Structure 1
Amino acid sequence: MKHNILNTGLYGLLVKNAPNKVFISIVLSSVAGLLQVMLIPLLVSSFNLQASHLAPGIEFGGAWEQWGLRIDSPRFAVCFFAACLLILVLRGTSGRLMNEVVTKLSLDLKRFIYNKVATAPVQDLEKVGFSTLMASLTSDIDKLSTGARMIPIILNYLIVIGGVVAMLGYLNPGVTLFILVSAVIGVACYQPFSYFGGEALGRARQCVNQVIEFNRGLIYGSKELKLNRRKRDAYMAELYQVEDQQRRLQLKGGTLFLVGSQFAGLMNMLVIGLVAFVMSNFYALSPDALIAIVMILLYLSEPMMGIVECLSSLIPARISVMAVRKCLKQLRAEIEQADDTRVAIHKLQAYQLEYAYDVKDKGDFQFKVGPVSATFRRGQVSFITGGNGSGKSTLSKVLSLHYLPSDGCVLINDERVTDDNRSKMRQNISAIFTDFHLFPRLYDVAEGAAAKIPDYMQELKLEQRVSLDGGKFSTLGLSDGQRKRVALLVSYLEDRDVYVFDEWAADQDPQFKEFFYTTILFRLRELGKIVIVITHDDRYFHLADQLIKMENGALKAIEMREALAA
């Protein structure tokens, strides 16, 4: 995507996405607007009003009669209907072109956000949150697209209004001045409706994130909610409360825009009434001139109301642009080297490593891990243990280079890991976290590993539960233990130098727990891998080469194999 929503407005996004199509769409819409303006003198002249100065030199005399039908001014009728058909074609073509641009823009924006998410540090993604990202990818992009489609329509209306006002100025400058002053007053009176309506819709947009988060909890927390009806009812009540608040804000915003729209229509009729009953006497307008002016003002009603209606789509689009921009500003991009060759990892070292979570307020409790100093070498299995909240999982994310230390450092082969090189260093690390995600297909299989898949499937007792067809798993509808075994299979096939397992054995039956600790870890050690295991299974501690004990975020002790075996 060539443009960036972080520093480009809605119109700028359209122009940079497809400048030629946007230009042609605007030109066609403008020509259609000019043709709509030209219909007025034709209509006035056809009514034989004393306003021939609107269309000097145009003669539409005579009549055509056939089969009992009479058409006055047939040449005018042909021109009028031909112009209407041409307007239809021009506006339709303009809308089609703009729709193509908006559709492509919507896809490009989504892909831009996909890439931002894919290249953002894990800390940033966790800070922004799932619900905010989902809202940006769904409702915000849809509203942005809807608003963008209004641009050529608004331009068409503006040209019609400009042409009509110019025509009125030609007819009677005094009446035109009165109409312009009335328009300024009308716009000023409409501003409170627009401002407070937009403010209400902006607050309703903030509720979208909460609703998505509640829906996520409703789906992924269904087991917990079913076990406690009071908890479920309280959760549902809170969800309904947020949705009711969103509905009230949307209703308030929509009502304000509706009232503003009706007010604009009333102002238009009020101006027509003042012209007909007051200004006609003040400027001594002839009946024919008055009828012409009133007809032109009635013709002006449609574009005026159209612009007001379009604003009800443009303002939510602007709110969505700001929401997406705010979301993306929180996502930094990790530096990725063009060379994706894996760095062979012989030693992974934490030196006075500390990691502290960000807090919103200074008075909030800030959980911190460290300082931790430890070394992990090839052919070595390390266990990290400790109670809940001791910092084990946080430490595993730092060691897998998802988090960068707040203080101290991580070294790979005695080279310090920084923002500049961590993406490259991380490519030779495989990890299965407690909140792991299982993808529906294999995306990266090490050379020669595919031939071992049947043996691995049989060894992990998966051959009866799931199969692979063209690299895609037949099903992911498995038990938690089976899903972890599939994740282990994927990790095997990736063949990395470093393996991190966060409570992998927690959901396994005794048979596979034993198999994991005595066979899988031994095999990885024999292959010369660096293996880091987060575990509570103290009966297997003696199998570790080193045991790292954590407590309240701090390193309590490191015991080596000799001491463990004693």
Structure 2
Amino acid sequence: MGLFSEVTRKSPNSIFLAMLFGLGAGLCYTLIIPIISRAIESLSSGGNALNDTQQLLGVEVVNYNLAILFTIICGCILLLRSASQIMLTKVSIQLTKELRGRIYKDISKSSLIELENLGIAKVINVIISDVNAIVSGARAIPDLISNSVTIIGMLLFLFFINDEVFLLVLSALFIGIVIYQFMMFFANRYFLKSRMIFDELQESTRGFISGIKDIKLNAEKEKFFLENVLEDREQQILKSNTRAYYIAIASVSYGDLINFLVIGVTAFIFVNYHSINVADLFSIVMILLYIAGPITAVLNAIPEINLSRISYGRLTDIISKIPNENCVQDVKPLPAWNTIEFRNVEFQYDNIGSEQGFKVGPLSFSIKKGEITYLLGGNGSGKSTLSKLITLHYHANQGEILFGNTKVTEDTLVSCRQEICAIYTDYYLFDTFLFKDSVDENLVDEYLKRFKLEGKVKFENGKFSTVKLSDGQRKRLALVVSLIDDKQVYLFDEWAADQDPEFKRIFYEDILPLLKQRGKAVIVISHDQAYFKGFDNLIIMEDGNIKNYSSEGEALEIIHS
């Protein structure tokens, strides 16, 4: 689907009317010069203009009928052009909402692994920058149509006056447009290059802000990142944009000059070889001066539409790289279950060049309700990948995952996910409960007091007063939300890492046993060896496989060995 098809798809009738009104405005513009020429001709002939003189609001108006016609046409231009712009502005606003909404839905239905591979910065750039550029290009279409019609109409009037001058102007415009497009081809290449680098800059900027604490502690790192990463990419964008705009400005300036070159050739050269009277020459010069504005407007609109096309290409490219999980979105209650069972489950990341992607599995184990399972392993062991397989964020390449007798398939995936709550290390804390049903404020207040957040956060009208808290406080607030969520499976990824000893104790000795008592299946990723007790099962990951799977007694020996 092309840019124009995208614009017309949502509101074809509105776009048609906007284009029709733009066409009407262009036709009205073409009548301005003939009317003025007729009025001047009437004045030069003497009697007719004087015989058509009337008073209007105390002002003497010569060529009264032509003046009224001129005023009506100007009014039509105002109404038609305004209506065209208003209608397209409305469609543009709707298009902005629709495009972003489509991306939001694609993201929500996408595979997490593909989204991670794509990069958050690229997606944000598309949502913010590219969508706006697409809409800006769409808004330029009515003016492009109106000005194009004006140019065509004026050229037809020029043909009526003098066909030889018409051929001269047409030839000059053709040559000018060919040269202009040739120049803009190179400008667009630089614009596209700049747009690609901007994605990298966005990611670098995000890394710079997120890693500012580390950078501030090392002057050499700070200097390197500023000069060799940020400054380097800024310089590449500056270089590409400068070249693009230099070429684009030169192209537009060249386009502006075409008319005046034709006027000069006509006034100083053409009259020496062709018979042309003064009145016709005057009309020709007026036409060429008049269409200078529309030609400039068209030439200015072309780069904007080209940038819009580039952004639309980026949009479609990003959307194509966010594949749908192709799973049934309808949520249905699962049959009663007590055990999550992994049967020979395998998962492998995509290969990077000639390097084979990291593989996890085959893994076979079970997680039961009313039990606490610890998931341990060093960096690169595969425990984070396994955790995302457990929470069904990653799809197994081989094997089966079952919730009781319900196999996780495309038909049941979304329903199975509704059983799970997870707090990962890179969690995001929303400032509101994302529930349709009302939340018991008394229960929320009780949990806030339990985690000593009552003086820092208030819960009112379904929202927290703030989420701008310390790392430990934010995690405690995330735990409050998860407890209110009341799911059947809980996964905690290093939850206690940022907590004071008091809250570590509460988490391990109070919260985990409470969830176990409530019959929840609990998975804990942790390095707090002091609290490696009270669990029912232990999974130790090493090189993508389970090193050992044991009871608590056996596990304690392994942990401390």
Q: Same fold (TM over 0.5)?
A: yes
Q: Confirm or deny that 1:399 pairs with 2:390.
A: yes
- Distance in 2 (CA, whole Å) between partners of 1:445 and 1:93 is 41
Task: Give the gaps of 5 or more residues in structure 1.
Answer: 1-7, 53-57
Q: Confirm or deny that 1:117 pairs with 2:107.
A: yes
| Alpha-carbon distance, 1:557 to partner | 1.0
Give the SS at the match of 2:418. helix
| Alpha-carbon distance, 1:342 to partner | 5.1
Q: Judge conservation of contact 1:201–1:316 (CA < 8 Å) in 2.
A: yes
Match of 1:10 in 2: 3
From 520, 535, 541, the equivalent of 2:532 is: 541
Please, which moves more after superposition, 89-98 or 442-451? 442-451
Match of 1:341 in 2: 333
Q: Confirm or deny that 1:27 pairs with 2:17.
A: no
| Alpha-carbon distance, 1:460 to partner | 2.2
Q: Confirm or deny that 1:427 pairs with 2:418.
A: yes
The residue identity in structure 2 corresponding to 1:247 is: L
Please, which moves more after superposition, 213-222 or 491-500? 213-222
Q: Judge conservation of contact 1:121–1:331 (CA < 8 Å) in 2.
A: yes
- Distance in 1 (CA, whole Å) between partners of 2:251 and 2:556 is 80
- Distance in 2 (CA, whole Å) between partners of 1:485 and 1:127 is 30
The superposition leaves residues 33-54 of structure 1 with CA deviations (integer Å, 9 ceiling, x where unpaired) of 11111112211112228999xx
| Alpha-carbon distance, 1:181 to partner | 2.2
Match of 1:62 in 2: 51
| Alpha-carbon distance, 1:60 to partner | 4.3
Q: Confirm or deny that 1:228 pairs with 2:218.
A: yes
Q: For 1:377-416, what aligned pairs fall within 5 Å after superposition? A: 377-416=368-407
| Alpha-carbon distance, 1:77 to partner | 2.7
The residue identity in structure 2 corresponding to 1:469 is: E
Counterparts in 2 of 1:470 and 1:82: CA distance versus 1, 3 Å: same
Match of 1:101 in 2: 91
- Distance in 2 (CA, whole Å) between partners of 1:73 and 1:337 is 71
Aligned length: 553
Counterparts in 2 of 1:561 and 1:303: CA distance versus 1, 3 Å: same
| Alpha-carbon distance, 1:457 to partner | 2.4
The superposition leaves residues 400-430 of structure 1 with CA deviations (integer Å, 9 ceiling, x where unpaired) of 0000012223222243323332111101101
- Distance in 1 (CA, whole Å) between partners of 2:443 and 2:71 is 75
Q: Confirm or deny that 1:296 pairs with 2:287.
A: yes
Counterparts in 2 of 1:372 and 1:75: CA distance versus 1, 3 Å: same
Q: Judge conservation of contact 2:23–2:146 (CA < 8 Å) in 1.
A: yes
Give the SS at the match of 2:41. coil
Match of 2:233 in 1: 242
The superposition leaves residues 505-551 of structure 1 with CA deviations (integer Å, 9 ceiling, x where unpaired) of 21122222222222221121111111111112233333221111111
Q: CA RMSD in A?
A: 2.5
Counterparts in 2 of 1:422 and 1:60: CA distance versus 1, 3 Å: farther
- Distance in 1 (CA, whole Å) between partners of 2:438 and 2:550 is 37
From 257, 275, 280, the equivalent of 1:284 is: 275
| Alpha-carbon distance, 1:191 to partner | 1.7
The residue identity in structure 2 corresponding to 1:127 is: N
Give the SS at the match of 1:47. helix
The superposition leaves residues 158-198 of structure 1 with CA deviations (integer Å, 9 ceiling, x where unpaired) of 11111112122222223322322222211111122110111
- Distance in 2 (CA, whole Å) between partners of 1:177 and 1:565 is 94
The superposition leaves residues 49-73 of structure 1 with CA deviations (integer Å, 9 ceiling, x where unpaired) of 8999xxxxx9645364989987542
| Alpha-carbon distance, 1:339 to partner | 3.7
Q: For 1:132-211, what aligned pairs fall within 5 Å after superposition? A: 132-211=122-201
| Alpha-carbon distance, 1:448 to partner | 8.4
The residue identity in structure 1 corresponding to 2:542 is: E
- Distance in 2 (CA, whole Å) between partners of 1:69 and 1:447 is 71
The superposition leaves residues 475-512 of structure 1 with CA deviations (integer Å, 9 ceiling, x where unpaired) of 21222222111111111111111111111121122222
From 57, 82, 94, the equivalent of 2:72 is: 82
Counterparts in 2 of 1:448 and 1:302: CA distance versus 1, 3 Å: closer
Counterparts in 2 of 1:469 and 1:441: CA distance versus 1, 3 Å: same
- Distance in 2 (CA, whole Å) between partners of 1:448 and 1:197 is 56
Q: Confirm or deny that 1:368 pairs with 2:355.
A: no
Q: Judge conservation of contact 1:445–1:493 (CA < 8 Å) in 2.
A: no
Task: Give the gaps of 5 or more residues in structure 2.
Answer: none
Counterparts in 2 of 1:118 and 1:71: CA distance versus 1, 3 Å: same
Counterparts in 2 of 1:414 and 1:562: CA distance versus 1, 3 Å: farther
The residue identity in structure 2 corresponding to 1:239 is: L
Q: Judge conservation of contact 2:445–2:459 (CA < 8 Å) in 1.
A: no
TM normalised by structure 1 equals 0.92
